[in-house]
Chains A and B, each alone.
Chain A
Amino acid sequence: MNITADKLKRTALNEICRKYGGKMVDFHGWELPMQFEGILKEHNAIRTSAGIFDVSHMGQIFVSGPESFRLLQRTNANDLRKAVTGKGVYSHLTNESAGLVDDIIAFCLSLNRYLVIVNATTSTKDYNWLKTQAGKMEVTIENKSDAYSMLAVQGPKAPDIFKTFAPEALKLPRFGIVEKKLFGQDCFVSRTGYTGEDGFEITAPHPVIAQIWEQLMELGKPYNMVPCGLGARDTLRLEAGYLLYGQDADDNHTTYETNYGWVVCLDKGEFMGRSILERQKKEGVSLKLTGVTLTEGGVPRSGCKIFKDGKEIGEFTSATYSPTLRKGIGLGYLSMPNLKNGELLEVEIHGRRVKAQVQKTPFYKGTAFK
């Protein structure tokens, strides 16, 4: 699809992003900032202090009713029993062949009421998938993606910034969620993010999101919090080893192949694609998303080929320069799924072979991992 500039979807924070100097780009049909002052500055702000993102393109699907748990348990690889009230679980929505419909976070807001945060490009697909899987179940599924905005405050100083803004959020464990009125509107504050650092995400109706942003910017001043764009979001999430749906994960690769085996709970009972995952658990996979770091100069990009002993064994689905580690890093599906940490590889960049090695992910463990 060819999306012309005037048809780009704009978030409720579009004007704010422009006001702060965001360089706007087309991100899958959404007009979002690639960067503000610079990717390195934004990246480092989040690793050492704090930064704020407009993530309003993300989708929100509400699932409620007596069989909401049953529906989510049957469509997810992870065990929804972990999502007790006030808590979320990172999971993979699986299809019949155990490929990923999407990667999501399912929060239990109260008994039989769930908020599922989905990716921007997949929200309609996920909604339709859940509707189909629900069949005649006693469950209500609502795609509210167009009704909510979302922002993320990330970094080791995020809790300090939230101290007066949302003191109840400081008590949240990782993946905890709390409902809170902000500027008179019902909002959600969760201890989640896509950077590998501690932090919070706020899901709020459009009319109040700009006020929330501005208040947080004010509270963030003592910590030099900066607005951050998609560029830093990508380098941060890749250092943390997080998947980008559509690049690193898709309908054709299973959770084991994405190397997120910890998400799979085979003992929870029947769920979509379970038999395939059970077989892969027993027999292993033929290809696996593997972390690779460069051991000499160069910047790998998605599509760059990866070699072992001169033989091509895959290519990067995501790759970049890691500002924290100051070297090239990337993820790619390799046809040798049992490579050990540190095994030597080569990567082709602009026709040049560059030395690299297998690297267990995350490449970098920020405060979210502690």
Chain B
Amino acid sequence: MPKPEEARYTKTHEWIALEGDQSLVGVSDHAQHEMGDVVFVELPKMNQKLEKDKPCTVVESVKSAFDIYAPVAGEVSAVNAAVTGDPAIINQSPLEKGWLFKMKAANPEDLKTLMDWNAYQEFIKQGVH
């Protein structure tokens, strides 16, 4: 599992981290705080094609539904069944047990175009959502 400092972040508060030839995707700790109690997750389908910045799945908290956007282009290679069984994992462990899916990035170099940990912290501080 990635350390928060090793992951890359989007302006829509997803994180992505390379693990072998796949990348793990989830929502940031900041995002799960903003969402509140997560009660339902609709995961993408295996082999689903992902387009960068396009909604690919939905996380629902008690108060609202949140679209999850693909951080980079690629294809879904695994989904985390644990979060559908117990969506609260996303609140408890957004960067570890609460990952949403794995993807094969069309171009792994694309990850480097996203914010690193420091840039993301700065981004949150500015209050830009």
A35 to B63, CA, bound (A): 10
B65 and A320 contacting across the interface, CB-CB below 8 Å:
no
Min CB–CB distance A240 → chain B (angstroms):
16
A350 and B37 contacting across the interface, CB-CB below 8 Å:
no
Min CB–CB distance A52 → chain B (angstroms):
19
A297 and B62 contacting across the interface, CB-CB below 8 Å:
no
Chain A 33-52: CB-based contact to B (< 8 A → 1; otherwise 0): 01100111101000000000
Does B110 touch A at the CB level, under 8 Å? no
Cβ of B36: which chain A residues have Cβ within 8 Å of it? 35, 38-39, 231
B65 and A231 contacting across the interface, CB-CB below 8 Å:
no
Judged by DSSP, the binding face of A is mixed
Does B60 touch A at the CB level, under 8 Å? yes
B62 and A39 contacting across the interface, CB-CB below 8 Å:
yes
CB contact between A350 and one of B39, B61, B62, B65 (< 8 Å): that residue: B65
Min CB–CB distance A226 → chain B (angstroms):
14
In the complex where A39-B63, A231-B63, A301-B65 touch, is A350 in contact with B40 (Cβ < 8 A)? Answer: no
Chain B 33-60: CB-based contact to A (< 8 A → 1; otherwise 0): 0001101101000000000000000101
B62 and A235 contacting across the interface, CB-CB below 8 Å:
yes
Does A323 touch B at the CB level, under 8 Å? yes
Cβ of A352: which chain B residues have Cβ within 8 Å of it? 42
A350 to B63, CA, bound (A): 16
A299 to B60, CA, bound (A): 7
Min CB–CB distance A288 → chain B (angstroms):
27
11 A-B pairs besides A40-B37, A323-B62 with CB distance below 8 A are: A35-B63, A39-B37, A39-B61, A39-B62, A41-B37, A297-B84, A298-B42, A298-B60, A299-B60, A301-B65, A352-B42
B63 and A34 contacting across the interface, CB-CB below 8 Å:
yes
Min CB–CB distance B49 → chain A (angstroms):
17
Cβ of B42: which chain A residues have Cβ within 8 Å of it? 298, 350, 352
B65 and A321 contacting across the interface, CB-CB below 8 Å:
no
In the complex where A39-B62, A321-B62 touch, is A299 in contact with B40 (Cβ < 8 A)? Answer: yes
> A residues 258-308 with Cβ under 8 Å of B?
297-299, 301
Cβ of A350: which chain B residues have Cβ within 8 Å of it? 42, 58, 65
Interface centre among B36, B37, B40, B62 (most CB of A within 10 A): B62
